[in-house]
Amino acid sequence: MKPLLPAFVFVFFCVTLHVTAQPDRIKSIFPEGTVMHQNIAYANDTLKKHLLDIYLPAKATASTPLVIWVHGGAWMLNDKYADMGYMKNTIRTILEKGYALASIDYRHSTTAVFPAQIQDCNQAVEFLYNHAATYKLDKNKFVLMGFSAGGHLASLLALSNNQNQPGFYAGNKKPSFSIKAVLDFYGPSNFLLFYGNADPNAADDTPVTKLLGASPLKRPDLSNTASPVTYVDKNDPPFFIVHGEKDQDVPQVQSYLLKAYLDVAHVKNELTVVKGAPHYGEMFDTEEVRTKLFAFLDSIMK
């Protein structure tokens, strides 16, 4: 098994969005009447990577369930509009079914190494929790939805949420929120398994090493700290996991392993492998995948 390949970086470089205002092609995804709150500072500072957007359905009530979108990009690329372009129908359905959507930015690994990314995600979700009434959100119905690197962060946040991990929180203060469910699209779950038969003495310039600031082969302790499977226990929220059959960047075994850990802990979960699908793209936005996803989500959010 190979580590995250150069193609992983190339794929996400090709879809990088270097903008701060919402692109028109993203805005057109949302149903007519969607209420948009853009570029909200969630960390009480001026960092561009500490911003989030909130999208409310046209007839939002005072207690709207929320899906929190965590973008991919090898932890070093993209922004809060990423992945939306190939998930148009899923996004529309989220709003049409009465869910709000929040999309968050977080610091890239090229600016700050782990755990900066998970600190940012926790801080963003805590902001949403503390301001739920302002934005008509139901603070007891938060769902995380992440893609690739974002799937890793969503999984890590949810699985560590019921444990005390001070290093994962800004100011070492444990957040107040809980997570109702996780929708994990091809997120890494165990970093050590990316390396297989790799030469530990060879130059290592992979996205995982950039994230951690060290090779997992030389810092297995740090690798385990950053791996979602480390934190699985019986009190974790349900997981809906999706992976492409032909994914050459995040091996399928990462999702199978996460499912196995959840099964052993008796945590409700479902794994969908999309036949012929690569690492990302419109093959994950089909009616078949959406039907399974919303059936799972609706069963949790009753």
Residue 196 zone, left/alpha/beta (φ > 0; ψ -120 to 50; rest): left
Residue 236 confidence (pLDDT)? 98
Q: Is the pLDDT of residue 17 over 70?
A: no
Using the 8-state DSSP alphabet, how is residue 181 labeled? E
Q: Which residue has the higher pLDDT, 142 or 12?
A: 142
Task: Check residue 154 and give its pLDDT.
Answer: 99
Q: How many residues does the chain have?
A: 302
pLDDT in tens, 84-118: 999 999 999 999 999 999 999 999 999 999 999 99
Residue range 138-165: mean pLDDT, rounded: 98
Q: What value does the mean pLDDT take over residues 216-220? A: 90
- Residue 184: name the closest of 258, 116, 249 by CA: 258
Task: Give me the pLDDT at residue 107, please.
Answer: 98
Q: How confident is the model at residue 199, as a pLDDT? A: 66
Per-residue pLDDT at 25: 78
pLDDT at 209 over 50: yes
Q: In this predicted structure, what is the pLDDT of residue 217?
A: 87
- Residues 188-204: tens digit of each pLDDT: 999 998 776 666 666 67
- Amino acid letter, residue 174: K
Helix (H) or strand (E) holding 241: strand 239-244
Task: Compute the average pLDDT of residues 13-31.
Answer: 66
Span 217-228, average pLDDT? 95
Q: Does residue 140 have a pLDDT over 90? A: yes
182-196 burial, b at 16+ Cβ within 10 Å, e below that, comes to: bbbbbbbbbbebbbe
pTM value is: 0.93
Percent of the chain with pLDDT over 70: 90
Cis ω for the linkage preceding 115 (within 30 of 0): yes
Q: What is the mean pLDDT of residues 213-236?
A: 95
Higher pLDDT, 204 or 122: 122
Helix, strand, coil percentages (3-state) for the chain, rounded to 5, are 35, 20, 45
DSSP string, 89-131: HHHHHHHHTT-EEEEE----TTTS-TTHHHHHHHHHHHHHHHT
From residue 280, alpha-carbon distances to 84, 187, 211 in Å are 11, 11, 20
Token pair listed for 286? 């089909």
The per-residue pLDDT for range 233-264, each reduced to its tens digit, is 999 999 999 999 999 999 999 999 999 999 99
Of 14 and 180, which is predicted with more confidence?
180
For range 27-55, the mean pLDDT:
96
Pairing of strands 51-56, 100-104: antiparallel
3-state secondary structure of 289: helix
| pLDDT, position 302 | 80
Q: Which of 178, 166, 172 is nearest to 238 (CA)?
A: 178
Q: Tokens for 240, please give them.
A: 């809906």
Read off the DSSP letter of residue 61. -
Amino acid type, 133? A
The strands making up 35-41's β-sheet, listed across from edge to edge, are 35-41, 51-56, 100-104, 64-70, 137-147, 181-185, 239-244, 269-274
Question: How confident is the model at residue 157, as a pLDDT?
Answer: 98
Please determine, for residue 24, whether its predicted confidence score (pLDDT) is greater than 70. yes
At residue 196, the pLDDT reads: 63
**Average pLDDT over the chain, rounded to an integer:** 91
Please give the Cα distance from 296 to 294 (Å, whole number).
Answer: 5
pLDDT reported for residue 129: 98
**Residue range 141-150: average pLDDT?**
98
Burial class (CB in 10 A: 0-12, 13-18, 19+), 142: buried
Between 4 and 259, the more confident residue is 259
Closest C-alpha among 244, 241, 250 to residue 293: 241
